[in-house]
Amino acid sequence: MNLTESIAPRSDQLNADDLIAGPVTVTVTEVRQGNAEQPVHVVTEEFGNGRPYKPSKSMRRVLVAAWGTDSDTYAGRQLTLFRNPTIRFGKEEVGGIQISHLSHIDGPLKIALTVTRGKRAPFVVQPIGPGRDWITELEQVEGNPEAIAALGVAAKNAGADAETLDVIRGAFMDAKGATS
Protein backbone atom coordinates (compact mmCIF):
# COMPACT_ATOMS: atom_id res chain seq x y z
CA MET A 1 0.00 0.00 0.00
CA ASN A 2 1.39 3.41 -0.99
CA LEU A 3 0.84 5.88 1.86
CA THR A 4 1.71 9.03 -0.14
CA GLU A 5 -1.87 10.27 -0.48
CA SER A 6 -2.64 9.53 3.16
CA ILE A 7 0.03 12.00 4.35
CA ALA A 8 -0.83 14.81 1.89
CA PRO A 9 -1.77 18.01 3.70
CA ARG A 10 -5.14 19.57 3.00
CA SER A 11 -4.33 22.84 1.33
CA ASP A 12 -5.05 25.04 -1.67
CA GLN A 13 -1.42 24.82 -2.80
CA LEU A 14 1.49 22.43 -3.09
CA ASN A 15 3.39 22.28 0.21
CA ALA A 16 6.82 21.04 1.24
CA ASP A 17 5.07 18.28 3.18
CA ASP A 18 3.69 16.96 -0.13
CA LEU A 19 7.27 16.12 -1.05
CA ILE A 20 8.28 14.18 2.07
CA ALA A 21 8.16 10.96 0.02
CA GLY A 22 10.67 12.45 -2.45
CA PRO A 23 11.04 14.82 -5.39
CA VAL A 24 8.37 15.04 -8.06
CA THR A 25 8.66 16.12 -11.70
CA VAL A 26 5.66 18.13 -12.87
CA THR A 27 4.52 19.54 -16.21
CA VAL A 28 3.33 23.14 -16.33
CA THR A 29 -0.13 23.66 -17.84
CA GLU A 30 -0.36 27.39 -17.15
CA VAL A 31 0.90 30.19 -14.94
CA ARG A 32 -1.66 32.42 -13.25
CA GLN A 33 -1.34 35.70 -11.45
CA GLY A 34 -1.90 35.37 -7.71
CA ASN A 35 -2.07 37.95 -4.94
CA ALA A 36 0.51 40.31 -3.44
CA GLU A 37 1.75 37.69 -0.97
CA GLN A 38 2.01 34.86 -3.53
CA PRO A 39 1.99 36.52 -6.96
CA VAL A 40 2.68 33.43 -9.10
CA HIS A 41 0.61 30.23 -9.29
CA VAL A 42 2.14 27.50 -11.44
CA VAL A 43 -0.62 25.05 -12.37
CA THR A 44 0.61 21.54 -13.21
CA GLU A 45 -0.86 18.43 -14.78
CA GLU A 46 0.08 16.39 -11.75
CA PHE A 47 -1.59 18.57 -9.11
CA GLY A 48 -4.33 20.17 -11.23
CA ASN A 49 -6.04 23.51 -10.77
CA GLY A 50 -6.77 22.95 -7.10
CA ARG A 51 -3.19 22.82 -5.82
CA PRO A 52 -0.77 25.05 -7.76
CA TYR A 53 2.92 25.39 -6.97
CA LYS A 54 3.44 28.89 -5.59
CA PRO A 55 7.20 29.48 -5.96
CA SER A 56 9.16 31.63 -3.54
CA LYS A 57 10.86 34.76 -4.83
CA SER A 58 14.16 32.87 -5.14
CA MET A 59 12.56 30.07 -7.16
CA ARG A 60 10.80 32.67 -9.37
CA ARG A 61 14.24 34.13 -10.04
CA VAL A 62 15.45 30.67 -11.08
CA LEU A 63 12.49 30.30 -13.46
CA VAL A 64 13.12 33.71 -15.01
CA ALA A 65 16.85 33.01 -15.38
CA ALA A 66 16.11 29.69 -17.08
CA TRP A 67 12.95 30.32 -19.10
CA GLY A 68 12.65 34.11 -19.40
CA THR A 69 10.05 36.57 -18.19
CA ASP A 70 7.13 35.53 -20.44
CA SER A 71 5.24 32.91 -18.42
CA ASP A 72 3.00 32.20 -21.43
CA THR A 73 5.91 30.13 -22.81
CA TYR A 74 6.10 27.90 -19.70
CA ALA A 75 3.18 25.60 -20.62
CA GLY A 76 4.43 22.11 -21.47
CA ARG A 77 7.75 22.60 -19.71
CA GLN A 78 8.79 20.46 -16.76
CA LEU A 79 10.38 21.09 -13.39
CA THR A 80 11.43 18.80 -10.59
CA LEU A 81 10.46 20.01 -7.14
CA PHE A 82 11.95 18.79 -3.89
CA ARG A 83 11.53 19.46 -0.20
CA ASN A 84 14.47 21.27 1.34
CA PRO A 85 14.11 20.89 5.12
CA THR A 86 16.64 23.68 5.81
CA ILE A 87 14.51 26.47 4.32
CA ARG A 88 13.94 29.11 6.98
CA PHE A 89 10.96 31.32 7.70
CA GLY A 90 12.30 33.91 10.08
CA LYS A 91 14.61 32.12 12.50
CA GLU A 92 12.90 28.73 12.23
CA GLU A 93 13.77 25.93 9.83
CA VAL A 94 10.34 25.04 8.46
CA GLY A 95 11.23 23.45 5.14
CA GLY A 96 10.23 24.63 1.71
CA ILE A 97 10.04 23.70 -1.94
CA GLN A 98 12.93 24.23 -4.33
CA ILE A 99 13.58 23.37 -7.95
CA SER A 100 16.30 20.82 -8.71
CA HIS A 101 15.78 20.25 -12.46
CA LEU A 102 14.22 22.11 -15.39
CA SER A 103 13.46 21.18 -18.95
CA HIS A 104 14.39 23.56 -21.78
CA ILE A 105 17.88 24.35 -20.48
CA ASP A 106 21.04 23.19 -22.25
CA GLY A 107 23.10 22.39 -19.18
CA PRO A 108 23.39 23.11 -15.48
CA LEU A 109 22.15 26.59 -14.54
CA LYS A 110 24.08 28.30 -11.74
CA ILE A 111 22.55 31.40 -10.20
CA ALA A 112 23.47 33.37 -7.07
CA LEU A 113 20.45 33.61 -4.76
CA THR A 114 19.92 35.53 -1.54
CA VAL A 115 20.05 33.18 1.46
CA THR A 116 19.95 35.79 4.22
CA ARG A 117 19.89 39.54 4.20
CA GLY A 118 23.06 40.66 2.44
CA LYS A 119 24.33 37.12 1.82
CA ARG A 120 24.14 35.27 -1.49
CA ALA A 121 25.05 31.69 -2.37
CA PRO A 122 25.20 29.75 -5.63
CA PHE A 123 22.20 27.60 -6.52
CA VAL A 124 22.44 25.02 -9.31
CA VAL A 125 19.58 23.56 -11.33
CA GLN A 126 20.20 20.56 -13.58
CA PRO A 127 18.56 19.96 -16.97
CA ILE A 128 15.69 17.50 -17.42
CA GLY A 129 15.69 15.42 -20.51
CA PRO A 130 17.81 12.96 -22.29
CA GLY A 131 21.33 13.13 -21.05
CA ARG A 132 24.37 12.60 -23.16
CA ASP A 133 24.82 9.11 -24.53
CA TRP A 134 28.30 8.53 -23.13
CA ILE A 135 28.71 5.07 -24.65
CA THR A 136 27.87 6.28 -28.18
CA GLU A 137 30.32 9.14 -27.74
CA LEU A 138 32.91 6.64 -26.49
CA GLU A 139 32.46 4.55 -29.64
CA GLN A 140 33.10 7.66 -31.74
CA VAL A 141 36.51 8.27 -30.14
CA GLU A 142 37.56 4.62 -29.92
CA GLY A 143 41.32 4.17 -29.67
CA ASN A 144 42.08 7.83 -28.85
CA PRO A 145 43.20 7.93 -25.20
CA GLU A 146 43.22 11.74 -24.99
CA ALA A 147 39.66 12.00 -26.31
CA ILE A 148 38.53 9.14 -24.05
CA ALA A 149 40.12 10.86 -21.03
CA ALA A 150 38.33 14.12 -21.86
CA LEU A 151 35.06 12.22 -22.27
CA GLY A 152 35.60 10.55 -18.89
CA VAL A 153 36.13 13.91 -17.19
CA ALA A 154 32.98 15.31 -18.84
CA ALA A 155 30.95 12.24 -17.84
CA LYS A 156 32.17 12.42 -14.24
CA ASN A 157 31.43 16.16 -14.00
CA ALA A 158 27.96 15.57 -15.44
CA GLY A 159 27.21 12.94 -12.80
CA ALA A 160 27.27 9.84 -15.02
CA ASP A 161 26.60 6.60 -13.17
CA ALA A 162 29.45 4.40 -11.87
CA GLU A 163 28.88 1.69 -14.49
CA THR A 164 29.29 4.19 -17.35
CA LEU A 165 32.42 5.65 -15.75
CA ASP A 166 33.86 2.13 -15.41
CA VAL A 167 33.24 1.43 -19.12
CA ILE A 168 34.98 4.69 -20.08
CA ARG A 169 37.85 3.95 -17.70
CA GLY A 170 38.27 0.49 -19.25
CA ALA A 171 38.24 1.91 -22.77
CA PHE A 172 40.89 4.43 -21.72
CA MET A 173 43.11 1.71 -20.29
CA ASP A 174 42.68 -0.39 -23.47
CA ALA A 175 43.47 2.59 -25.72
CA LYS A 176 46.45 3.58 -23.55
CA GLY A 177 47.78 -0.01 -23.70
CA ALA A 178 47.35 -0.13 -27.50
CA THR A 179 49.44 3.03 -27.98
CA SER A 180 52.28 1.96 -25.64
| 0.75 exceeded by pTM | no
Instruction: Determine the Cα–Cα distance for residues 53 and 12; give it in Å rounded to an integer.
Output: 10
Q: Which pLDDT score, from 0 to 100, does residue 169 have?
A: 93
Whether 123 and 113 have beta carbons less than 8 Å apart is answered as: yes
pLDDT tens for the chain, 180 residues: list them.
777 666 665 677 888 877 888 888 899 999 999 999 899 999 999 887 678 999 999 999 999 999 999 999 999 999 999 999 888 777 888 889 999 999 888 788 899 998 778 889 999 998 886 666 778 888 888 888 888 888 888 777 666 778 889 999 999 999 888 766
Q: For residue 108, how many other CB atoms are within 10 A of its CB?
A: 13
Instruction: Determine the Cα–Cα distance for residues 128 and 107; give it in Å rounded to an integer.
Output: 9
Alpha-carbon distances of 75 from 25, 32, 154, 160, 161, rounded to whole Å: 14, 11, 32, 29, 31
Whether 13 and 51 have beta carbons less than 8 Å apart is answered as: yes
Q: What is the DSSP letter of 89?
A: E
Q: Strand runs (DSSP E) across the chain, as ranges? A: 24-33, 40-44, 48-53, 78-84, 88-89, 92-93, 96-102, 109-116, 119-127
